[in-house]
Chain A
Amino acid sequence: MPDRAATFAYALALADDALVLGHRLSEWSSHGPTLEEDIALSNLGLDLIGQARFFYTLAGEVEGKGRSEDDLAYFRDASDYRNLLIVELPRGDFAFTMARQFLYAAFMHPYFDALSRCAEPRLADIAAKAVKEMAYHVRHTGEWMVRLGDGTDESRRRITDALDTIWGYTGEMFEMTPPEHALLSAGIAPDRTAIRPLWDRTIDHVLREAGLERPADRYMQTGGRTGLHTEHLGHMLAEMQSLARAHPGATW
């Protein structure tokens, strides 16, 4: 069996991905372009925050030091976070939010599908629930990709700019960390590189329907998994963690 440290690090990174992106989506609450889309964005955010809670709770149990989901979410600093850089970028405009969510969900959907069949039942259970949520994220954001790409001149310009900006952050999704390599050989963590053809197929299909060019591959940003974050994460965490830190142990 892999050591506890690897399982802890793995669950923590998945939790951080979900929480940070979930928080970015929550920033749209009351700012959505329409009431309907405002609620839709909140729903997507709540899916991710729900996933984060399961992964944090599991990480805390595996670690065995009595840390709760709140301890892990609210009392670690940016350099201790292990999320991908793509999820911490500011929410940008609606096109940016949709493009980021689409590129991320198109990866996480097949990834959770693979994780749902892994040898660690607690991780498999969380993934089995999450895979349905990510299927809807792909569907909802994919429909918007098509409408923004095939919409007005302005929507097309915005979605093209967004794709171009985010593309350089997609490579990190396919990188395997040392704990993931250990868990891969134990039949637990899926091989991220094996998700590539599935991701390509989803992306290419939707971009074709949207009449959008797939951005050229280039230098890919990386560092989130080792705590080397963009400047944006610290600002986001400062806001997200302020209440819990001002009132430790508060309940409502």
Chain B
Amino acid sequence: MSAENPIPLWEVFIRARSGLPHKHCGSVHAHDATMAVQAARDVYTRRGDSVSIWVVPSHVIVASDPNDKDQLFEPTSTKAYRHPTFYDIPDDVGHM
């Protein structure tokens, strides 16, 4: 538990209900996968509403480069037609 040998970090994903996707909710420190699941259970499911936990070693996550945000995300801002908001919904369909 020294600075040279820190406890590995794990990203935690919780599924709140069956049918919903696992959502990222934070991270925990743990020496191995088994203890990471237990730490996630103890830290992130204390107030109920959980049916499943995933933990993933933080170091295996591949992230986009913040410097690339213009080329990655900017072009979509002018393509409003990609939003499914141009349809008339029949009354019979009810709430969507």
Near A by CB (< 8 A), chain B positions 20-71 give: 28-31, 34-35, 38-39, 42-43, 46
User: Do residues B46 and A143 form an inter-chain contact, with CB atoms below 8 A?
Assistant: no
Interface of A is mostly: helix
User: Do residues B43 and A39 form an inter-chain contact, with CB atoms below 8 A?
Assistant: yes
User: Do residues A147 and B35 form an inter-chain contact, with CB atoms below 8 A?
Assistant: yes
User: Do residues A40 and B39 form an inter-chain contact, with CB atoms below 8 A?
Assistant: yes
Q: Is A29 an interface residue (CB 8 A)?
A: no
Q: Is B72 an interface residue (CB 8 A)?
A: no
Expressed in whole angstroms, the minimum distance between the Cβ of B75 and any Cβ of chain A is 41
Q: Is A34 an interface residue (CB 8 A)?
A: yes
Chain A residue, CB-CB nearest to B32: A147
Measured in the bound complex, the distance between the Cα atoms of B39 and A240 in whole Å is 28
User: Do residues A39 and B29 form an inter-chain contact, with CB atoms below 8 A?
Assistant: no
Q: Is A140 an interface residue (CB 8 A)?
A: yes
Measured in the bound complex, the distance between the Cα atoms of B1 and A242 in whole Å is 37
Measured in the bound complex, the distance between the Cα atoms of B43 and A247 in whole Å is 33
Expressed in whole angstroms, the minimum distance between the Cβ of B6 and any Cβ of chain A is 11
Expressed in whole angstroms, the minimum distance between the Cβ of A29 and any Cβ of chain B is 13
Given contacts A34-B29, A143-B34, A147-B35, contact A40 B7 (CB under 8 A): no
Expressed in whole angstroms, the minimum distance between the Cβ of A11 and any Cβ of chain B is 27
User: Do residues A39 and B42 form an inter-chain contact, with CB atoms below 8 A?
Assistant: yes
Measured in the bound complex, the distance between the Cα atoms of B29 and A35 in whole Å is 9
User: Do residues A36 and B39 form an inter-chain contact, with CB atoms below 8 A?
Assistant: yes
Among A36, A143, A147, point to the contact of B42 (Cβ < 8 A): A36
Expressed in whole angstroms, the minimum distance between the Cβ of A138 and any Cβ of chain B is 12
User: Do residues A140 and B43 form an inter-chain contact, with CB atoms below 8 A?
Assistant: no
Measured in the bound complex, the distance between the Cα atoms of B39 and A147 in whole Å is 15
Residues in chain B near residue A40, CB distance under 8 A: 38-39, 42-43
User: Do residues B38 and A143 form an inter-chain contact, with CB atoms below 8 A?
Assistant: yes
Measured in the bound complex, the distance between the Cα atoms of B31 and A33 in whole Å is 13
User: Do residues A39 and B38 form an inter-chain contact, with CB atoms below 8 A?
Assistant: no
Q: Is A139 an interface residue (CB 8 A)?
A: yes
Residues in chain A near residue B35, CB distance under 8 A: 143, 147
User: Do residues A140 and B31 form an inter-chain contact, with CB atoms below 8 A?
Assistant: no
| New contact pairs (11) apart from A40-B43, A43-B42, A140-B42, CB-CB < 8 Å | A35-B29, A35-B43, A36-B29, A36-B42, A39-B46, A40-B38, A40-B39, A40-B42, A43-B46, A143-B35, A143-B38
14 contacts between A and B (CB under 8 A): A33-B1, A34-B7, A34-B29, A35-B29, A36-B30, A36-B42, A36-B43, A37-B39, A39-B42, A39-B46, A40-B39, A40-B42, A43-B42, A139-B38
Those 10 A-B pairs whose CB atoms lie nearest each other, nearest first: A36-B39, A40-B42, A36-B28, A39-B42, A43-B42, A39-B43, A140-B38, A36-B43, A34-B29, A36-B29
Q: Which residues of B contact A (CB under 8 A)?
A: 1, 7, 28-31, 34-35, 38-39, 42-43, 46
